[in-house]
Structure 1
């Protein structure tokens, strides 16, 4: 459940993009940037404010893989498992991160909401493989030990 300040922020975002159906995608992109996920309550609210059905808003948001209805941690870690990264041993990195963070394929975010761990098909940095990103910052030539060090640094 989101509080009133989230609706107020959503109103600001809507005002910035215009109160029209064609602004749906930029509006929900900005909401997700603000909160690291797209709260379903806000998506319903946006639909009403811009004059589209909730079904239409959800069909757009679920069509694009980029949108997430699940809260994400402060640090979103994406481990590349594309061909270049995979052959250069990205899976041991992923396994170390699962172990280090107490996560699994079925549990992507730590209980303290500090970390979310995801795998992606490609990060577009094949020459730097294996690669992971933290909040879109690229970390090249990763190893399991370097990944552990990075987690310790992020925890502060």
Structure 2
């Protein structure tokens, strides 16, 4: 009987606790859910841009690029002096970008003694604005790398061709 009376006392104490504090506990839980939802809404509408990024390679060097990565997100390859690829999609975050690329060789470069080599460089990641989902990676001579964001396939470092066929601006 001693055990049963102790269990009844514990049950009565839990019942009194629940009757007294259940409203406050439910209100607190609802308040936590509301705070979480407001934080999520704030991040969606006013937070920094996030999500998938397309990597676009631009090569201005005399050796082919076998592949590259920015903060672990793999990109495509490119021919010597141009050409390139778009690779989708990865998440690139942070203030710095570690760019790792592998240089290949053309046939004449291989015959001259050049071999495949891997290079890397750490540089600041440019500020990303809303709608900018393309990261352009320009490989320049002397191991120089430029990074730039854009909202379309045009690089922010290249001059865009003007559209001469605009309405009202037909020149023959």
Q: Do the structures match in fold with TM over 0.5?
A: no
Question: Relative contact order (C-alpha < 8 Å, sep 6+): which is higher?
Answer: 1
Q: Which has the higher strand share?
A: 2
Q: What TM-score, normalized to structure 2? A: 0.19
The structure with the largest alpha-carbon Rg is 2
